[in-house]
A and B are shown apart, each in its own frame.
Chain A
């Protein structure tokens, strides 16, 4: 199998999440697909290029479809935004490791998302909803720039209704005239409401690296250990299979050894904001 040649996927439907994020539901045309929460795919718009995008749907649905939630920031993502249902894209993968769903069995989970990082966390949240008995207490913290920038709003009620859990939302600012009954401020401000027990929990974080930097600082001071804090990292990627070199953080490949690392694994590596 040639790992550089994409499989062909058809766009089944598109949901506008925020002014600059859309969720695409894709059906892989040539047979099966399976993945674990936290893995990503390389999505091609042929003629434009390829981007690494986390899978935002649940593995149980993979035989029927996968979803990707994309923020429009440049060439490839901009081209994706011009596509319509029925159009085709290339998909390679899934690549990378995934959230520690097995290690998390019986433990409390603290899930911290920022911006479009919530896409990578959604499969984990859906797993909690579908297999509630596997996990202990589950607290979800999610921050975005403004209320309009929150993804998956149509699911927040369900996330919030998880027994023995909570969903806490925050935004950086509320534009005039917008109704908002949750918190205002950076996502780490929500830490004061966290009740999971640091001694018996795992933390899963995905968001801008500067946000993860402050989150890690806060968590360490709350008594969480570096090897309990899982971070999904973002680096430039050209191959996804550990060959092109671009995604290196010191001695680690984000595409192959990650994209999810514990803070312990990364703390001594160079060239990061963490």
Chain B
């Protein structure tokens, strides 16, 4: 990482220039915007729309890389059929992505790069510039520290912004990011900026109250498939699928065909799916290998603990969204704690 030694600094106006520069370069820029009580990644044209002190958005930036619904291809049925693929996506810049979400994107990148590559995700990812943002605060549902996914990150971004109080430290994470910073004429930052960042990180580390260490968790959970915690927790679970919808590492999707009214052409679509829904594991003639709610809850948690199909790539980064948005107050860190012998 040749860029690591070169650090820049700027002020709020400079961040605004960065956003304007991206927009004039053809990027659609998304950043964390507060609406009501929550934050959302929305299209922005100025830093003024962004809340740089946000905690977490409702949906992770996944929605822009692995969208909730997307067309795989179009087809024509006329005489036999013809399939045509979709065009390439437009360039997107994600502004203000927190460390947990940066790590989640890295995991999704690796997941979708496994052979055979997923051309839709990777085409979009290649056209995406990522500007990370170090958190300024931690709430009672953040636990990236124990997952090793924050609050400090060294990869997963083109540029990383840190609010150091009297200005912003800008660290390039890629050649593209370095070039962008240079082109904006930002001044080099002195050591005091790095020291201030280090102090902020140390302060943040002290404020975590939730923990779910990764060490041995996957193996432990797999060895405790009959633990009572699964059934007990599932009694409250509504199988609504919120947890997987808001999870930045959940990648599962459904595929289906939609015919046009003329019945001669149509599209094949993929749509985010959730293993919490009953139909997810249904097979022909009414068979279902996860008919019971506890099996679905257990499968999802095993996945987040790194013990299901996606392994590390779909495991938890500690963003806390599933805890915040669970209508039944289910907390996977409590389940992990029970498995480890607490309670």
Contact = CB atoms under 8 A, between A and B. Distances in A.
Contact count band on A: 35 or more
Nearest to A236: B283
A251 B119 contact: no
Nearest to A52: B283
Contact count band on B: 35 or more
A1 B309 CA distance: 24
A48 B281 contact: no
Contact of A270 (B111, B116, B273, B298): B298
A253 B80 CA distance: 32
B15 to A, nearest CB: 36
A252 B309 contact: yes
A251 B289 contact: no
Given A251-B311, A253-B309, A270-B302, A73 B253 contact: no
B307 A250 contact: yes
Given A47-B257, A241-B116, A234 B283 contact: yes
Given A46-B75, A236-B283, A244 B225 contact: no
Contacts of B307: 250-251
Given A5-B73, A236-B281, A250-B222, A244 B114 contact: no
Given A245-B275, A248-B275, A250-B299, 12 more contacts: A1-B116, A2-B73, A3-B116, A73-B284, A236-B283, A238-B254, A243-B111, A244-B273, A245-B251, A246-B254, A248-B309, A250-B222
Interface of A: 1-6, 8, 10, 46-50, 73-74, 77, 87-88, 90, 234-236, 238-239, 241-246, 248-253, 268, 270-273
12 contacts: A3-B116, A3-B117, A47-B257, A49-B257, A235-B281, A238-B273, A244-B273, A248-B275, A250-B308, A251-B308, A271-B289, A271-B290
Interface of B: 72-73, 75, 77, 80-81, 83, 85, 111-112, 114, 116-120, 222, 225, 251-257, 259, 263, 266, 268, 270, 273, 275, 280-285, 289-290, 295, 298-299, 302, 307-311
